[in-house]
Amino acid sequence: MSSIDKNARYRSSHEWVRKDGARIVAGISDHAQGALGDIVFVELPEVGKTLKQGEAFGVVESVKAASDVYMPMSGKVVAVNEALAGDPALVNKEPYAGGWFIAFEPTAPAEWEGLLTPEAYETEAGKE
């Protein structure tokens, strides 16, 4: 059974976002990392890049496949998790903590309300 961060919101494409002051932090869910298996490479966007909700912002590569990761909300990237370059397995070990992907300033904060609650995401992920 995969774990869930109760303070986060989710998208059905398995990204999570969490409020961190004025910023939003994003990553992929425990369910997603479990399904992907060992993660060996993460490609992240440049700081300063502005992306729309649903746009691919990075790539996560497991042993067997590469998958795009999508912006849960529109925003401007203000930080990326540099630690993933040296230790991409952090995404497997701590998907909601040390395995975060990016932080962004939301350009459409109202999008938050349209995201899946932890309960709704859990139900959706459980169907897979």
Partner 1 sequence: MNQTRLHAWHLAAGAKMATFAGFDMPISYPLGSVEEHLVTRRSVGLFDIDHMGQVEVTGPGADDFVSGLVSARVLDMKDGDARYSLLLNEEGTVIDDLFIYRIPGAWWIVVNASNKEEDLAWMAARARERKRDDVVIEDRSEETYMIAVQGPRAIELLDAASDSSISAYPRFSSGRARVLGAPCLVGRTGYTGEDGVELFFPAAEAERLWTGLLAEGGKRGIEAAAIGLAARDSLRFEAGMPLHGHELSQSISPLEAGFKWACDLEKEFVGKGAVEKLAAAGVSRKLVGLSVQGGVPREGFEVQDEAGRKVGAVVAGMFCPTAKLFAANAFVEPALAKSGTALKVVIRGKPAPAVVVKRPLYVPAYRR
Binding mask 15-54 for partner 1 (x = CB under 8 A): ----------------------xx-xx-x-----------
Give the pair of three-digit tokens for residue 55.
């746009």
In angstroms, the CA 29 to CA 68 distance is 14
Q: Are 52 and 33 in contact (CB under 8 A)?
A: no
From 5, 27, 92, 116, residue interacting with partner 1 (rule: CB under 8 A): 92
For partner 1, the closer of residues 17 and 28 by Cβ is 28
CB of 60 to partner 1, least distance (A): 11
How far is the CA of 103 from the CAs of 63, 69, 96, 118, 123, in angstroms? 26, 14, 13, 20, 26
For partner 1, the closer of residues 37 and 126 by Cβ is 37
In angstroms, the CA 111 to CA 64 distance is 33
For partner 1, the closer of residues 25 and 60 by Cβ is 60
CB of 59 to partner 1, least distance (A): 7
Q: Are 24 and 71 in contact (CB under 8 A)?
A: no
Contact positions vs partner 1 (CB under 8 A): 37-38, 40-41, 43, 59, 61, 63-64, 66, 89, 92
